[in-house]
């Protein structure tokens, strides 16, 4: 049995430090080795204790969490899980942190929440196990494919991702031209963050990116991100595909669930679809991707070397759901090849 994950908890609130530490300490495979109230204390604690993982508050005195994260990633790269308020400002800062190289994020609980930080221990253990090299991504984005180089066919694209998905989706979608195939995405993240993430993707990418709305028709040049919260994103209507937001219990512990999205795409799009499963913990999306492949869709999975967590793509690959495994930087181009119109007509 592997040693417990050694964690340093960094937050300016003693109450929050105590709550996070208590939640993590309740898991026998996690060991809270120290606490720090600001970046200066955290810097000394990291030098002294050499933790496997750091939980880091976004808003702190002296130096905020984002500034401190940049220093960590530049001087001593390691897994960091951001702890953020569930506000627009907190979401924007957290998304920036995930782009810098944070492993994952969790939201601070609302008063009276029954299971505060419910999945934090699992995220900490996954972070401690990862073999990923935590390095700062390039500051200059890759330019999108020219519209002149791409003629879209009739296929739609469905993408599922979780831990590490913010960076992965940016890498994939920045390869898309403005006339990209209609694309639907389920990314696991706190409900308050998905609108900010869609807005961020819209600024960074050539196509239009927006939170999916119930009944929105899938159009060329648009990307639809499942909103977090109480509903799953599905695709409906084979003759005129559109988004459906459906109230159902969580699937695989998630709402929205990648499996729910992929199942609907298998049913209503069949061979006129491409399914893509990216980095993430657990197995959500694997069974749905297999249904897509059985229905005639093309399917792609991110390879182990470029995943933050090789969980969802691994299960999908082992089930036989993945037609091709590719490094992250090749997935965007491959999607375009699979969805491009043929010279004789369209697919």
Q: What is the pLDDT along the chain (347 residues), one digit of tens a residue?
A: 478 999 999 999 999 999 999 999 999 999 999 999 999 999 999 999 999 999 999 988 888 889 999 999 999 999 999 998 877 778 888 899 998 989 999 888 877 777 888 889 999 999 998 855 544 444 334 455 444 566 777 899 999 999 999 999 999 999 999 999 999 999 998 888 999 999 999 999 999 999 999 999 999 999 999 999 889 999 999 899 999 999 999 999 999 999 999 999 999 999 999 999 999 999 999 999 999 999 999 999 999 999 999 999 999 999 999 999 999 999 999 999 999 987 544 45
Active-site positions?
162, 188, 284
Tokens of 270: 């069949």
| The pLDDT value given to residue 150 | 66
3-class secondary-structure state, position 143:
coil
Q: How far, rounded to the nearest angstrom, does the alpha carbon of residue 216 sit from its chain's CA centroid?
A: 23
The correct answer on CATH 3.40.50.180 for the domain covering 156-339 is yes
> Where in the chain are the domains?
5-129, 156-339
**pTM, entire model:** 0.88
User: Kind and range of the H or E element at 72?
Assistant: helix 65-75
Q: What gap in Å lies between CA 175 and CA 178, rounded to an integer?
A: 10
- Does the fold of domain 156-339 match that of domain 5-129? yes
Q: Quick one: 5-129 is in which CATH superfamily? A: Response regulator (3.40.50.2300)
DSSP H helix total and E strand total for the chain: 11, 14
Q: How far, rounded to the nearest angstrom, does the alpha carbon of residue 41 sit from its chain's CA centroid?
A: 30
């Amino acid at each position: 049995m592997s040693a417990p994950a050694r964690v340093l908890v960094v937050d300016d609130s003693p109450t929050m430090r105590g709550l996070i530490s208590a939640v993590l300490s309740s898991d026998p495979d996690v060991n809270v080795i120290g606490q720090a109230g600001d970046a200066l204390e955290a810097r000394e604690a990291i030098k002294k204790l050499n933790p496997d993982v750091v939980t880091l508050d976004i808003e702190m005195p002296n130096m905020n969490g984002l500034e401190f994260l940049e220093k960590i990633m530049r001087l001593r790269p390691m897994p960091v899980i951001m702890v953020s308020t569930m506000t627009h400002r907190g979401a924007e800062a957290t998304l920036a942190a995930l782009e810098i190289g944070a492993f994952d994020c969790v939201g601070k609980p609302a008063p009276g929440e029954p299971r505060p930080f419910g999945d934090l221990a699992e995220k900490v253990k996954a972070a401690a196990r990862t073999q990923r090299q935590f390095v700062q991504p390039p500051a200059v984005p890759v330019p999108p494919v020219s519209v002149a180089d791409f003629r879209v066919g009739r296929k739609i694209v469905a993408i599922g991702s979780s831990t590490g998905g913010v960076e992965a989706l940016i890498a994939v979608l920045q390869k898309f031209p403005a006339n990209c195939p209609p694309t639907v995405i389920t990314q696991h993240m706190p409900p308050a963050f998905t609108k900010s993430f869609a807005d961020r993707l819209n600024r960074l990418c050539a196509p239009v990116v927006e939170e999916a709305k119930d009944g929105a028709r899938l159009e060329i040049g648009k990307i639809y991100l499942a909103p977090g919260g109480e509903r799953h994103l599905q695709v409906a209507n084979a003759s005129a595909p559109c988004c459906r937001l459906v109230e159902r219990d969580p699937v695989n512990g998630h709402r929205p669930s990648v499996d729910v999205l992929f199942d609907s795409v298998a049913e209503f799009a069949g061979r006129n679809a491409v399914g893509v499963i990216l980095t993430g913990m657990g197995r959500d999306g694997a069974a749905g991707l297999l249904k897509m492949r059985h229905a005639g869709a093309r399917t792609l999975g991110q390879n182990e070397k470029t995943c933050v967590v090789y969980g969802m793509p691994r299960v999908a690959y082992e089930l036989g759901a993945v037609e091709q495994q590719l490094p992250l930087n090749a997935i965007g181009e491959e999607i375009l090849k699979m969805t491009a119109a043929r010279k004789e007509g369209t697919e």
